[in-house]
Amino acid sequence: MMKKKQVFIIWLFIPLVVFAQREYIRWNIFDINKVRTKFSNANQLCNGNFQNTIFAMPPAFEYPAGSGINYGTDVAFIVGGYQEDGGGENPNNLPCVDAGMTEGPADYWDPDHYDPYVELVDGSDRAAMSDDPGSWPAGGFPDVIPNYYYKTTQDYVNGTKTQTPGINPLPLLKDSTGWPGAGENGQRIADQESFSACYAIDHLAEVPPERWLTIQTINRGMAWSGKYYEDFIVWTFVARNIGHTPITKTYFAVWSDFAFIASFNPPNPFGDDGDVCYYDRDRQFAYSWDEDGIETSPTGGTLTASEIAWAGSVVLKTPKGDDGKELGVTGYDAVSNYNAQTSNIGNGARKVEFYRYNLANRDDPRDTDGDGIDDTFDGKPYFEAESEPLQIMSSGPFTLEPGQMDTMIIATVFGVSKLDLFKNVDQVIQLYKDRWHVIAPPPKPKVKVIAGDQKVELIWDRAAEKDSLFEGYRIYKSMDNGVSWGQPIKDIFGDVIAFKPLEIFDLKDGITGTNDLVPGFSLGFDSGLEAIRKVINGDTVNYFRDNKVQNGYNYRYAVTSYTRGGPAKPPIENAIATDPSIPGDNTVAVTPHSPTASHTLDSIRVVPNPYIASARWESELGVRRIDFTVLPAKCTIRIYNAAGEKVKTLYHDNAIMSSESWDLLSDQGQEVAPGLYFYHVDSPLGMKTGKFVVIY
């Protein structure tokens, strides 16, 4: 394992007079499936931990959503090429690179090469998303995408816009709600979409003379909530030459910097050692993982190999060459974060070096056959980074004439194992080949929950049963806030790929067993649906009661519907919603509780007793707690150790919940020692004493 080099960063003070003009950068969050990320409307798909940790924007590819574990330092789109009459000054006819990532100041990356068009931003404080009308422009989206740019930084400061005669703005097609969808006629084709458009402007050039390409970029993100689409987000990137002269020797590229794990906190913004990256040439897929399988968890403790996800970027579409055919990925460069930045084995921190060494991947000793694709990785089948692995996939060279545009489409993909990752990659590739035609599950059940005394009751609607392919319902139960959902189902390598549901209720139609296309997926046991039918207020609904719960502990439940599948079609199941607080979805959170004590204190109990660290009923990973149950509405609980010393005072004031939790920390915030403890409960109803044991 390589040792991490000590890195010295020189911070430069950059004049703020121009930076102050940048008032239209916006952020928003994709959160409809298991991949959750905050993206910008300036071609940055995540912004995790980097030199400027104070500017990080969590979540940055949090996976799975709600886990608090993030994997993205920076993923962004890049355009490079030559242009005689571009923006700024270019007296020596050097190549220019405009990039969306913000990996830090000084000699690494000057931040933010793109500015959004104000017409697509004005009146909103966040990047535009299809399911968030408040993020749309105040006056609605215009009928065309603006196509002005700036020739100099001073023009940018003064607001002196330039437009090319004969190059018309692009029409902006919209659906009936006014959203500019990703479909051919402006219709939405994903469950959640983003839309932004920018012009290039290098207003913080690292070395004068400043220069940039006269390009306009259009970026869309697309995410789906279905079971087979929940592990990736698709991003489409279009660049159009809106200047007077051609852009020659052009490259489009995607920069992938996945950190394992992104922490957002100093002093170590680069994660632990052991990160490696790989490239699958057939799939055009750059991916990475933490090889040593040891990472510091942001929620405390450490993560093992089975708890660390795999992640990567797959290229689905590339620009076309002069022959009209897609170029494919012509360059793959794998480098370490600070490994010889301007050499042929490192990432070029300046435009010229980056264009030569990273986009064109020239003279790279790891590219043994000179085809632009790194292949040896120092004699290994992978590249072991000294801090965090950076991967650049590029496509070129080609020419963008004035008014001409081309496209790159990628997907950022995650999996719990390498096998799961490649399964998800193949699914997004097939989705692209199917022109975004999604195989949909039945309608997602709308679940309500009722907390009782040592029980939880679930009630949901029957809309899913109207689907012609509906087969049944699956009920899941989580005791760790949605990190896991029952007994794990593992692949042949021992990695968790799914969870066994708590219960399955299916049609009595002879369809049972498993489907070969989805390993471990049970189609049910011909139970019939009468077992879950119940009439409530005159309506027949579905009903399930779980009696295997403990008062005072947090549980999550999810109810999914699924199809029966067929010989060539897998069964399709709803995804589990990540936010149980949203009413009307299929996931709920609940804490069962006893009726509030009103006449006697004899029923007060300590649960569990004895307390044993890391028991399965602990509701939050890494959090220790016991509960005092069946309490009166108001009382004071004093806890003493075996020596008679008071270690904690708890105050309970709740007429609804009859339990009070203790995190096993003293009044001074110190973790208590194992042993025998006594408690005194004082209330208007009297006093109750008892004892309990703590075992570590």
Residue of higher predicted confidence among 79 and 264: 79
Same domain for 223 and 338? yes
Same domain for 508 and 454? yes
Same domain for 312 and 453? no
Same domain for 549 and 686? no
Q: Is 156 left (phi over 0), alpha (psi -120 to 50) or beta?
A: alpha
Report the number of distinct structural domains present in the chain: 3
Is residue 347 scored above 80 in pLDDT? no
With respect to residue 130, please indicate whether it lies within any of the assigned structural domains: no
The CA distances from residue 51 to 46, 74, 347, in Å, are: 15, 12, 16
**Euclidean distance between CA atoms 70 and 58, whole angstroms:** 8
With respect to residue 183, please indicate whether it lies within any of the assigned structural domains: no
Q: Which residues touch 241 (CB under 8 Å, ≥6 apart)?
A: 213, 214, 215, 247, 400, 401, 402, 403, 404, 405
Same domain for 473 and 557? yes
Least confident range of 149-153, 186-190, 511-515, 599-603: 599-603
Instruction: Please classify residue 143 by burial: count the beta carbons closer than 10 Å to its beta carbon, then call 0-12 exposed, 13-18 middle and 19+ buried.
Output: exposed
Q: In which band, very low, low, confident or very high, does the pLDDT at 568 lie, cut at 50, 70 and 90?
A: low
What average pLDDT score do residues 307-330 get?
95
Helix (H, G, I), strand (E, B) or coil at 119: helix
Find out whether 692 and 609 touch, Cβ atoms under 8 Å.
yes
Least confident range of 373-382, 455-464, 591-600: 591-600
Helix (H, G, I), strand (E, B) or coil at 429: helix
The CA distances from residue 334 to 105, 222, 373, in Å, are: 21, 27, 9
Same domain for 543 and 636? no
Same domain for 454 and 404? no
Give the CATH number for residue 311.
Answer: 2.70.98
pLDDT in tens, 476-525: 999 888 889 999 988 766 777 789 999 999 999 999 988 777 777 899 99
Find out whether 510 and 523 touch, Cβ atoms under 8 Å.
no
**Euclidean distance between CA atoms 40 and 115, whole angstroms:** 11
Position 342 scores a pLDDT of: 63
> Which among 8, 22, 359, 351 has a CA at the least distance from the CA of 206?
351
pLDDT in tens, 183-239: 989 999 999 999 999 999 876 544 567 789 999 999 999 999 877 899 999 999 999
Is residue 627 scored above 50 in pLDDT? yes
Position 23 scores a pLDDT of: 76
What average pLDDT score do residues 429-454 get?
91
User: In which residue are the tokens 């070029």 written?
Assistant: 348
**Of the candidates 526, 560, 590, which is a domain's last residue?**
590
Give the CATH number for residue 663.
Answer: 2.60.40.1930
Residue of higher predicted confidence among 395 and 387: 395
Position 62 scores a pLDDT of: 95
Is residue 19 scored above 50 in pLDDT? no
The reported pTM is 0.70
Least confident range of 99-103, 437-441, 486-490, 651-655: 99-103
Position 493 scores a pLDDT of: 62
With respect to residue 149, please indicate whether it lies within any of the assigned structural domains: no
Work out the percent of the chain whose per-residue pLDDT is above 70: 87
Same domain for 568 and 623? no
With respect to residue 391, please indicate whether it lies within any of the assigned structural domains: yes
With respect to residue 669, please indicate whether it lies within any of the assigned structural domains: yes
Same domain for 515 and 367? no
Most confident range (mean pLDDT) of 425-429, 594-598, 606-610 is: 425-429
**Of the candidates 530, 563, 590, which is a domain's last residue?**
590
pLDDT in tens, 160-170: 999 999 999 99
> Which among 242, 223, 241 has a CA at the least distance from the CA of 233?
223
With respect to residue 127, please indicate whether it lies within any of the assigned structural domains: no
With respect to residue 585, please indicate whether it lies within any of the assigned structural domains: yes
Position 406 scores a pLDDT of: 97
Q: The domain containing residue 527 runs over which residues?
A: 447-590
Residue of higher predicted confidence among 599 and 422: 422
Q: Report the amino acid identity of residue 76.
A: A
> 160-166 long-range contacts, Cβ below 8 Å, gap at least 24?
163/242, 164/214, 164/242, 164/243, 164/244, 164/402, 164/403, 166/402, 166/403
Is residue 85 scored above 80 in pLDDT? yes
Is residue 302 scored above 50 in pLDDT? yes
Q: Is 482 left (phi over 0), alpha (psi -120 to 50) or beta?
A: left
Same domain for 626 and 562? no
Position 204 scores a pLDDT of: 57
Q: In which band, very low, low, confident or very high, does the pLDDT at 240 lie, cut at 50, 70 and 90?
A: very high
Same domain for 355 and 241? yes
Q: HEC string of 302-325?
A: EECHHHCCEEEEEEEECCECCCCC
Same domain for 578 and 616? no
**Of the candidates 401, 433, 465, which is a domain's last residue?**
433
With respect to residue 177, please indicate whether it lies within any of the assigned structural domains: no
